[in-house]
Structure 1
Amino acid sequence: MVARILGFSGGRYFYKKFRSTVISDIWPEVLFFTLVAVAVVLVSELTSTSLAVSSQMLTVLGTVLGLVISFRTSTAYERFAEGRKLWTSLAIWSRNLAQIIWIHVPFERVLDADTKKTQPHLEVVIEKKSMINLVQAYSVSVKHLLRGEAGVYYEDLYPLISFLPRFCTDIHKATEEDMLPLWKSSDMDYRKFKDTHVTTSLPPQSRAQSMPLPKMRESDETTTSEKYDTVKSHVSVVRPKRVKSFDPEALLPEIPSEHPLRPPRNPPDDSILDWIPFLRELRAHKGKDPYVAQASLKHSRTTTGRKIRPKAADSNVPMEITLFLSSYFISLMRKGLLTPASATAMNNAIIALEDTVINLERIKDTPLPFAYQAHLRMSVWLYLLLLPFQVEGALTWVTIPATAFASFLLLGFLEIGQEIENPFDYELNDLDLDHFCLAIERELHEITAHTTPAPDSFIFNEWNQPFAPADRRNAKAMMDDVEHAYHGVDSGMYHIRKTLLKSWREVDSMTRHKRS
């Protein structure tokens, strides 16, 4: 899905910033209490009847209410911060697992000890890269899980897991009832949102035989040398053009799908009802693309505001991905391809991924008790309702702006706490889960970009000066100078130690701040 970069271009940026505030959520309540203050002031100032009452309770109730609202906001922010920490943990463990698969799992494998037959290098790389793609798909599936988006048919998820098996038996004998939960849930989820514009989908069991194979892009057929033949030597001074949009899903594999893929990010469109909080529940959020099924079940509502519940239990896509990662781990153990330390690290990484998702679901599915929220809001309403009566005698006409400001302040903090309590939705103040997933994608591709060469191939060359600053010769020159004292059988280590001590003294002296 092509995403637009806001930046500072046009008024859309400022509109988004304004929508990220809570003004659109609290203005009806602020207006109501302001009108109450207007009525109290008009009656007290323009008639002989005074509505002013004693303000002795104002200080006591205001202090208690302020402490309770502060606790409410702090509790909500703790959930927001914990969600961010857990996504950091998800990125760390995804990176660690990818490094273990790419580096610790050996590339050289002997298939037959007698004939010394080895497994083709390309086959090993394809295997490891496919499993790392599953690690990338894990974070994407967690994003959709937290947003309440069922199934796997998304532009950023399906291309990464489409190779996983669909059936628990032989594909030629399997029926639709044999479909694994990962795909069965997606299939049932799609049926609830059939579109008349979409052509009849192919049956899952005929997908492998009937669906066309993905085609290579024309740009992929061009060799690297042809791509960069026209690059000028002074390309470093050319400033890149500012892009206003980007489409990260274009970098994923192009895999045909029997169902139309939904966009990776499908927030509800802005509507006039967004400015009227008590009417928001009546709106029916629909996808932006008429050819794409609705992305989020939590935004599906009937005309009466009732939520549409799925008829079947949704499949836990992240858990099923970890099942395949665990199966791969067991296969490596059976083949003896992992050392005990690497096996322990890989198993811990998979377990840590599962623990992180469980904690994320805990934040999402454990809201603040309704009784606490309702009692706190009723207390604020009663306080603001009685506020004009208590301050009118001292402030007179200033009671109106004072009540408006107090309403804006207290109700704003209440709404902020409620908004960031679940930081995984599409609200502008929620965590940017799409950004986190793209960051993990970049890191995993950076890991697999390295060919894991042997240390000898890059250590002993002309670009390495390991003993600097005491000895600024490169490693190759030191190894070639066999007459140097470093190569002495008995005294070699002594001279190396002297050089390293000299380096320490120079570094210690030159890096300390000298005061006059």
Structure 2
Amino acid sequence: MVATNPLFQGSFFSLKKFQATVVNDIWPEVLFFSLVATMVSLVSKLTSTSLAISSAMLTVLGTVLGLVISFRTSTAYERFMEGRKLWTSISIASRNLATVIWIHVPFDRIDKATGEKKSKLHVVIEKKSMINLVQGFSVSVKHLLRGEGGVYYADLYPLISLLPRYSNPHSIDEQDMLPLWKASEMDHKAHDTLRTRHCTPEPTIRHTISDPGQPSDYDEKNFAATEVSEDGTKWYNSLRAGNSHKKKFDPEAALPDIPSEHPLKPSRNPPSSGFFDYFPFLRILRPLTRPIRRALRHPPRPEHDIAQRSFTGKKIRPDIADSNVPSEITLYLSTYFAWLMRNGLLTPASATTMVNSISQLQDVVANLERIRNTPLPFAYQAHLRISLWLYLFFLPFQVFAAFGYLTIPATAFASFLLIGFLEIGQEIENPFNYDLNDLDLDHFCLSIQRELHEVTAHTVPEPDSFMFTEWNQPFAPADRRSAKAMMFDTDHDYHGPETGMASIRRTLLKSWREVDQATRR
């Protein structure tokens, strides 16, 4: 396999690829140490005072510092790869769980209350609804890791909206609201992460709707939106309605259209990129251009809506938000498992696979939260960065005697190299946000969605319906007849009471010899 240089893959270079680097984060420090080198060079060359000092400590300290930075980067990369492995575990557990539900839970069953046979439609709706919950688990984990609490998202709410909202089925009292929806209500009203404060999300077109199957005041052709009052009117959310003419890729189009009590947030809400994100060294001019930008912006952005970078362009991480949605989904999956066991609908082997898959999902989300919520200790990071700063500050003093004016580019390169590796380690230690270097969680969720729909597309056929056809040549290459032809050829040795099995074994042995010869170089 030949690896491709990512900088030269596709177009020669792009501003998007530039944003994936850490230049935005490290340029102030590189500039500072370059200015120090410039000062040392000019003072030593243009005056009688020489600022050069002995370089005896340069090699020893540089080696130790390089090893420590390498350890820091390796530790961060291990967290990055562990996050990727855990998402693979979610995919495997989701597929195993869906397979058990779809194939091993029987379609033919008797209703114990009435003694009558349940319809196939009843059973298929039950199974498909639970598999939709399995799909919703991965989506909820994605929002949890990104610090987005609650369930009111365009890619999550349609999958779990069937879950009960109140402990009493006939109650609509706020006091009876179950934890999943109560927490989501609070998240929707009070949850205010750094990203939601500082970014303008994609517009969500909202429509009033009286029933999921019968939209009212809703023009399917023109996607006309209606006004929504504050008196409890339900919302009809459609991201694809307002953006179908802008983008072709619309994964939410494959989800159900379900009315919600609150407007749904976009499935993705990455920070927007502006002019100063592509040219970070000009960010120091941002305060001077603020009146002009406010005057040109329509409508004006709120006062608190600022960029997600510091004054120098360094990334500001979004706040961490807790969410109980994944754990609530696993509780409902466990409840379904218990119901299947009480009704004798699972064999012991299938039950073991199902409970192990649910346990694996619970373990994975706990480990993902551990990675997200456990940064390296502050003392370690602070001591390492201060040590690096001192090393780079005294570097031009130690190399000037040998380099002269080349001390300036040499110091700039050394600071770019060392600070860059340190910043890369800090960036990838939490690989669950929207940065270009983070894991593509949306891709993982969509991949799981495709796999689960592939499972439910399986028709669970009887083996006899597809094995004994003209499309099956089980004894090739020694015998290239189809299974159907062999079954109808009753005069062949395969059917003889004395020659049958011996003839079949002879054919299989011949197949082994031909395959062994054909596959060796």
What range describes the TM-score normalised by the shorter chain of this pair?
A: 0.7 to 0.9
Q: SS at 2:266's partner residue?
A: coil
Q: 1:193 to 1:96 in 2, by over 3 A?
A: closer
**Alignment pair present for 1:476 and 2:463:** no
Q: SS at 1:166's partner residue?
A: coil
| Aligned mates of 2:43, 2:408 — CA distance in 1 | 13
**Alignment pair present for 1:433 and 2:431:** no
Matched with 1:251 is 254
Quote the RMSD (CA, aligned, Å).
3.3
| Aligned mates of 2:451, 2:147 — CA distance in 1 | 26
1:481 CA drift (Å): 1.5
1:218 CA drift (Å): 8.4
| Aligned mates of 2:188, 2:415 — CA distance in 1 | 45
Cα contact 1:80–1:420 (8 A) shared by 2 = yes
Letter paired with 1:449: A
Letter paired with 1:182: L
| Aligned mates of 1:352, 1:495 — CA distance in 2 | 47
**Alignment pair present for 1:366 and 2:365:** no
Q: 1:503 to 1:447 in 2, by over 3 A?
A: same
Matched with 2:423 is 415
Matched with 2:331 is 323
| Aligned mates of 2:368, 2:479 — CA distance in 1 | 53
Which structure 2 residues correspond to residues 446-485 of structure 1 after superposition, within 5 A? 446-485=454-493
Q: SS at 2:14's partner residue?
A: helix
1:430 CA drift (Å): 0.5
Matched with 2:156 is 157
Which structure 2 residues correspond to residues 60-75 of structure 1 after superposition, within 5 A? 60-75=60-75
| Aligned mates of 2:390, 2:517 — CA distance in 1 | 69
| Aligned mates of 2:389, 2:489 — CA distance in 1 | 85
1:489 CA drift (Å): 2.4
Q: SS at 1:367's partner residue?
A: coil
| Aligned mates of 1:198, 1:405 — CA distance in 2 | 46
Cα contact 1:112–1:118 (8 A) shared by 2 = no
1:415 CA drift (Å): 0.4
Q: 1:427 to 1:337 in 2, by over 3 A?
A: same
Cα contact 2:34–2:411 (8 A) shared by 1 = yes
Instruction: Give TM-score, length-normalised by structure 2.
Output: 0.81
Equivalent pairs counted in the alignment come to 453
Encode CA deviations 1:444-477: one digit per residue, 9 max, x unaligned: 1111111111111000111111111111111111
Matched with 2:76 is 76
Q: SS at 1:429's partner residue?
A: coil
1:82 CA drift (Å): 0.6
Matched with 1:176 is 174
| Aligned mates of 2:379, 2:518 — CA distance in 1 | 65
Matched with 2:53 is 53
| Aligned mates of 2:499, 2:486 — CA distance in 1 | 16
1:211 CA drift (Å): 3.7
Letter paired with 2:93: W
Which structure 2 residues correspond to residues 182-331 of structure 1 after superposition, within 5 A? 182-192=180-190, 211-214=210-213, 245-271=248-274, 274=277, 275=280, 314-331=322-339
Matched with 1:139 is 138
| Aligned mates of 1:308, 1:512 — CA distance in 2 | 57
Cα contact 1:201–1:258 (8 A) shared by 2 = no
Cα contact 2:147–2:319 (8 A) shared by 1 = no
Instruction: Give TM-score, length-normalised by structure 1.
Output: 0.81
1:422 CA drift (Å): 0.3
Cα contact 1:109–1:118 (8 A) shared by 2 = yes
Letter paired with 1:19: Q
Matched with 1:120 is 119
| Aligned mates of 1:132, 1:467 — CA distance in 2 | 38
Encode CA deviations 1:31-66: one digit per residue, 9 max, x unaligned: 011011111110000111111111111111111100
1:103 CA drift (Å): 0.8
Letter paired with 1:491: T
Matched with 2:352 is 344
Letter paired with 1:178: D
1:307 CA drift (Å): 10
| Aligned mates of 1:328, 1:417 — CA distance in 2 | 42
Which structure 2 residues correspond to residues 355-394 of structure 1 after superposition, within 5 A? 355-394=363-402
| Aligned mates of 2:206, 2:473 — CA distance in 1 | 65
| Aligned mates of 1:497, 1:410 — CA distance in 2 | 67
1:276 CA drift (Å): 6.7
| Aligned mates of 1:420, 1:72 — CA distance in 2 | 11
Encode CA deviations 1:158-198: one digit per residue, 9 max, x unaligned: 00000110011133x34112111111111112223799x99
| Aligned mates of 1:372, 1:319 — CA distance in 2 | 33
| Aligned mates of 1:198, 1:504 — CA distance in 2 | 62
| Aligned mates of 1:307, 1:436 — CA distance in 2 | 22
